[in-house]
């Protein structure tokens, strides 16, 4: 007998893959999403979509009152580091303020477990690599700070009210549902892999490689790309152990890839060149970000299915190729 879950941000990139994973194992879910960045078409038939803004406390309260809920998965957030540097207070209100309201509603309506989509951006410039859970937290942006604020709220919600939580910190969600039902569709798109694929397909101008003078072997930034479906299974694995205690996990591949390596992977997968230009650094980009994931592997037996970058890129390529306009047009 499956459970019943509320997924905030379930029409977005990672949230929609989690909804698919929940349904695949027989759980029922309702998506709460204001569709500001999510897509109606990413919500499958048979899943209720509550088109609600988390800032609307009365509406959030009403849906949580409509329990019982076995748990809440909380993805809904603003997630662009650059935007957060321009509008810090907007990010604190949307990410921290709205999360406070959601957590409060969970407590009042006796929801016992919450899984929170956090970020490795709360580590700022890492002091060592790969980044482990207990490494120094020093968010380099209001975005990272706003996510850390929510982690602290959850710690207090557990201590005072017994709300069990899992905080999952990840960086570069990548790829698409291997069955082709879901994929990445940000507007505007700012992420490396979809932009590189579109450049290779001639749908966008050549990709600008942001910075070639970093202290890395080929001079470009190194990032940790984790397949979005593996992130989804990590959320399930973390939820399943919340009977024991609240947890905080980093979700990384422990193997970083440079921008040039990503472009080479896209070229291999697509069988064509990726037109690109060399551009100055993008402000705020650290040279290397690679997260550890030993803790969740040991505690939950989480094993990512996609470990090779080419396999991750292949799923992203298949999605972009089949959906030139993303979710528009089916
Ligand atoms: N990047 C790039 N050109 C682009 C977009 C991204 O060179 O048009 C680089 C970016 O500087 C970073 C890496 O690709 O080093 C991943 O960037 P992305 O925006 O995908 O994710 P982030 O690491 O910022 O979360």
Which of 250, 266, 299 delimits the end of a domain?
250
Position 102 in a domain: yes
Distance, CA 208 to ligand 1 centroid (Å)?
Answer: 10
pLDDT above 80 (res 230) = yes
Position 43 in a domain: yes
For residues 95 and 211, membership in a common domain is answered with: no
For residues 131 and 207, membership in a common domain is answered with: no
Q: Which atom number of ligand 1 is nearest to the Cα of residue 207? A: 8
Overall number of domains in the chain: 2
* CA 100 to mean position of chain CA atoms: 20
Q: Quick count: other Cβ atoms within 10 Å of Cβ 53?
A: 16
Q: Which atom number of ligand 1 is nearest to the Cα of residue 289? A: 23
Is the CB of 192 within 6 Å of ligand 1?
A: yes
Q: Give pLDDT tens digits for 52-75.
A: 999 999 999 999 999 999 999 999
For residues 95 and 141, membership in a common domain is answered with: yes
Position 184 in a domain: no
**C-alpha distances in Å from residue 306, one per residue of 125, 190, 227, 293:** 27, 23, 6, 14
Position 170 in a domain: yes
pLDDT above 90 (res 110) = yes
For residues 118 and 266, membership in a common domain is answered with: no
Distance, CA 288 to ligand 1 centroid (Å)?
Answer: 11
Q: Which atom number of ligand 1 is nearest to the Cα of residue 220? A: 15
pLDDT (average), residues 237-255: 95
Q: Which two tokens stand for residue 173?
A: 């969600």
Position 137 in a domain: yes
pLDDT above 70 (res 330) = no
For residues 158 and 304, membership in a common domain is answered with: no
Position 264 in a domain: yes
Is the CB of 303 within 6 Å of ligand 1?
A: no
- Residue 171 binned pLDDT confidence (cut-offs 50, 70, 90): confident
Q: Which two tokens stand for residue 187?
A: 């507007």
For residues 109 and 239, membership in a common domain is answered with: yes
pLDDT (average), residues 180-201: 95
- Calpha distance 138→23 (Å, rounded): 37
Is the CB of 195 within 6 Å of ligand 1?
A: yes
For residues 281 and 230, membership in a common domain is answered with: no
Q: Give pLDDT tens digits for 78-90.
A: 998 889 989 999 9
Q: Which atom number of ligand 1 is nearest to the Cα of residue 222? A: 15
- Residue 111 binned pLDDT confidence (cut-offs 50, 70, 90): very high
For residues 66 and 215, membership in a common domain is answered with: no
Is the CB of 226 within 6 Å of ligand 1?
A: no
Position 186 in a domain: no
Supply the pTM of this predicted model.
Answer: 0.97
Domain ranges, residue 312: 192-223+255-329
Letter string b/e over residues 212-233, b meaning 16 or more CB atoms within 10 A of that residue's CB: bebebeebbbbbbbbbbbbbbb
Range 235-238 contact pairs with CB under 8 angstroms and sequence separation of 24 or more: 235/18, 235/21, 235/73, 235/115, 235/117, 235/166, 235/168, 236/18, 236/21, 236/22, 236/25, 237/296, 237/300, 237/301, 237/302, 238/115, 238/166, 238/168, 238/296, 238/300, 238/302
Distance, CA 198 to ligand 1 centroid (Å)?
Answer: 14
For residues 134 and 215, membership in a common domain is answered with: no
Distance, CA 191 to ligand 1 centroid (Å)?
Answer: 6
Residues with active-site annotation: 143
pLDDT above 60 (res 208) = yes
For residues 73 and 46, membership in a common domain is answered with: yes
> What CATH number is given to the structural domain containing 20?
3.40.50.720
Beta bridge partners of 28: 4
Is the CB of 223 within 6 Å of ligand 1?
A: yes
Residue where the block lists tokens 């959906």: 323
pLDDT (average), residues 101-120: 97
> What pLDDT is attached to residue 283?
76
- Residue 258 binned pLDDT confidence (cut-offs 50, 70, 90): very high
Calculate the average pLDDT of the chain: 95
Among 210, 231, 286, 289, name the best residue to mutate to test ligand 1's pocket (greatest count of ligand atoms within 8 A of Cβ): 210
pLDDT (average), residues 186-192: 93
pLDDT above 80 (res 321) = yes
For residues 217 and 230, membership in a common domain is answered with: no
Position 205 in a domain: yes
> What CATH number is given to the structural domain containing 295?
3.90.25.10
For residues 199 and 82, membership in a common domain is answered with: no
Q: Give pLDDT tens digits for 274-296.
A: 999 999 998 778 889 899 999 99
Distance, CA 172 to ligand 1 centroid (Å)?
Answer: 9
């Amino acid at each position: 007998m499956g459970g019943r879950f509320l997924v905030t941000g379930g029409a977005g990139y990672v949230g929609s893959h989690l909804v698919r994973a929940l349904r695949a194992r027989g759980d029922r879910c309702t998506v709460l999403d204001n569709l500001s960045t999510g897509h109606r078409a990413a919500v499958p038939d048979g899943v209720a979509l509550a088109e609600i803004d988390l800032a609307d406390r009365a509406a959030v309260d009403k849906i949580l009152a409509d329990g019982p809920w076995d748990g809440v998965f909380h993805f809904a957030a603003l997630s662009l580091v650059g935007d957060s540097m321009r509008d810090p207070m907007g990010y604190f209100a949307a990410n921290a303020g709205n999360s406070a309201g959601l957590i409060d509603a969970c407590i009042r309506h006796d929801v016992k477990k919450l899984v929170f989509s956090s970020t490795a951006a709360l580590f700022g410039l890492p002091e060592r690599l790969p980044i482990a859970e207990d490494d120094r937290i020093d968010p380099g942006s209001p975005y990272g700070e706003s996510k850390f604020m929510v982690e602290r709220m959850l710690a207090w919600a557990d201590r005072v009210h017994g709300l069990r939580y899992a905080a999952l910190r990840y960086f570069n969600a990548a790829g698409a549902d291997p069955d082709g039902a879901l994929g990445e569709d940000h507007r505007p798109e700012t992420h490396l892999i979809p932009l590189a694929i579109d450049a290779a397909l001639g749908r966008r101008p050549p990709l600008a490689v942001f910075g070639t003078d970093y202290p890395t072997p080929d001079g470009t930034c190194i990032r940790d790309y984790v397949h979005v479906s593996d992130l989804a299974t990590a959320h399930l694995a973390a939820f399943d152990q919340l009977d024991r205690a609240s947890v905080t996990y980093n979700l990384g591949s422990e193997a970083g890839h440079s921008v040039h390596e990503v472009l080479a992977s896209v070229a291999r997968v697509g069988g064509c060149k990726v037109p690109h230009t060399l551009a100055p650094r993008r402000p705020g980009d650290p040279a290397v970000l690679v997260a550890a994931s030993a803790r969740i592997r040991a505690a939950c037996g989480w094993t990512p299915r996609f470990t090779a970058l080419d396999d991750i890129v292949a799923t992203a390529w298949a999605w972009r190729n089949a959906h030139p306009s993303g979710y528009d047009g089916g």
